[in-house]
């Protein structure tokens, strides 16, 4: 687990990148804040906080006591639950969450999600206090996978997206309920978000994803930048954006020459299936 937070690092340790990818720096007071809460062995729950009201939503609150402790430490009131998909390691805390917060809505993409109160679909919108949430349907890992794009009215935060098990840092989720074509569509959809959008994913798989990416895209200079960020201890929940992922994530680079060589090319769905098979079998 990578512990140091981006805000605590000396400026000399920060990656050199175009300004658009550095705009989520914590030097300006933001009205929206995201706090990762590690749960299980490698999962992330999150608190999505509106600092103007000290109200928050809990994203995938698998371990409710840990999420409650994080909320108490942050001095915020939890008013909603958000679920990225129905798998137990993401939705398994919903019954306990509902019991702890009986008036709080729980958003999610299907009735397979425990304690669901508000089923959402693509392009649905809702608010958590002053934070605007837009739902992006990304079926593949599960057919009810929803990514949540969040922005605040102040404009001081660059926006973020909770991607569950669809998009990881330098990787993507397995195709348990979908196809390569569906994952290609899902990642292409996420790629339309502003490049400065911060990615909040569902698992800490960064080191293994980096190793695989280097095996299929060894000359990609962006991967060296990601490796340095890991070495420097920058949290994956604060260091990566949609713009970054388009540079270093092999699953978002199907048209690049190295990935076409690794997969044998072909149409995007077939290439995605081939790349996922390579990742599934990778032991590097």
SS (H, E, C) 190-234: HCCCCCCCEEEECECCHHHHHHHHHHHCCCCHHHHHHHHHHHHCC
Query: Which single residue is written with the structure tokens 């349907």?
Result: 137
| Of 87, 84, 39, residue with least CA distance to 63 | 39
- The CA–CA distances, whole Å, from 14 to 25, 226, 227, 278 equal 10, 11, 12, 32
Distance CA 172, CA 257 (A): 20
pTM above 0.85, yes or no: yes
Note the pLDDT tens digit of each residue in 150-190.
999 888 899 999 999 999 999 999 999 999 999 999 999 99
At residue 146's C-alpha, the angle toward residues 167 and 56, to 5°, is 95
User: Could you give all domains of the chain from N- to C-terminal order, each with its CATH number?
Assistant: 32-281 (3.60.15.10)
Q: Which of 119-123, 231-235, 253-257, 260-264 has the lowest mean pLDDT?
A: 231-235
Q: What is the DSSP letter of 250?
A: G
* Per-residue pLDDT band at 30 (split at 50, 70, 90): low
**Where would I find the beta strands (DSSP E) of the chain?**
32-39, 43-50, 55-59, 77-82, 106-108, 118-119, 125-128, 131-137, 146-152, 160-164, 167-168, 171-172, 198-201
Q: What's the rounded mean pLDDT across residues 111-118?
A: 98
- Residue 9: the pLDDT is 30
φ and ψ at residue 95, rounded to 5 degrees: -65, -45
Q: How far apart are CA 64 and CA 95, in angstroms?
A: 10
* Mean predicted confidence (pLDDT) in 14-29: 37
Short-list 240, 250, 236, CA closest to 203: 236
Instruction: Give mean pLDDT, residues 46-67.
Output: 97
**Range 61-65 average pLDDT:** 98
Question: Residue 284's pLDDT is what?
Answer: 76
pLDDT over 90, % of the chain = 83
Q: Regarding predicted confidence, which is higher, 101 or 9?
A: 101
Coil vs helix vs strand at 103: coil
d(CA 278, CA 65): 38
Give me the active site residues, please. 85, 87, 89-90, 141, 165, 203
In this prediction, residue 10 has a pLDDT band, given cuts at 50, 70 and 90, of very low
């Amino acid at each position: 687990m990578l512990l140091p937070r981006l805000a605590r690092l000396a400026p000399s340790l920060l990656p050199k990148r175009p300004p658009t990818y550095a705009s989520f720096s914590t030097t300006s007071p933001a009205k929206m804040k995201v706090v990762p809460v590690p749960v299980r062995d490698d999962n992330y729950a999150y608190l999505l906080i509106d600092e103007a009201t000290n109200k928050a939503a809990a994203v995938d609150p698998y371990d409710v006591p840990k999420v409650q402790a994080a909320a108490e430490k942050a001095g915020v009131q939890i008013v909603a639950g958000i679920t990225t998909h129905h798998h137990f390691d993401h939705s398994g805390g919903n019954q306990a969450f509902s019991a702890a917060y009986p008036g709080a809505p729980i958003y999610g993409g299907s009735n397979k999600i425990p304690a669901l109160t508000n089923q959402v679909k693509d392009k649905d919108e809702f608010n958590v206090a002053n934070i605007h949430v837009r739902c992006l349907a990304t079926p593949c890992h599960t057919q009810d996978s929803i990514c949540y794009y969040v922005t605040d009215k102040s404009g001081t935060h660059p926006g973020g997206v909770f991607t569950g098990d669809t998009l990881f840092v330098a990787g993507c989720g397995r195709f348990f309920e979908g196809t390569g074509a569906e994952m290609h569509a899902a990642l292409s959809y996420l790629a339309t978000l502003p490049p400065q959008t911060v990615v909040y994913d569902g698992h800490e798989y960064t080191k293994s994803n980096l190793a695989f990416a280097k095996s299929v895209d060894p000359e990609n200079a962006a991967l060296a930048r990601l490796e340095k960020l890991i070495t420097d201890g920058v949290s994956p929940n604060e260091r990566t954006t949609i713009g970054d992922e388009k540079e270093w994530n092999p699953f978002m680079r199907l048209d690049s020459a190295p990935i076409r060589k690794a997969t044998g090319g072909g149409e995007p769905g077939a290439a995605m299936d081939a790349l996922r098979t390579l990742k599934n079998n990778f032991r590097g």
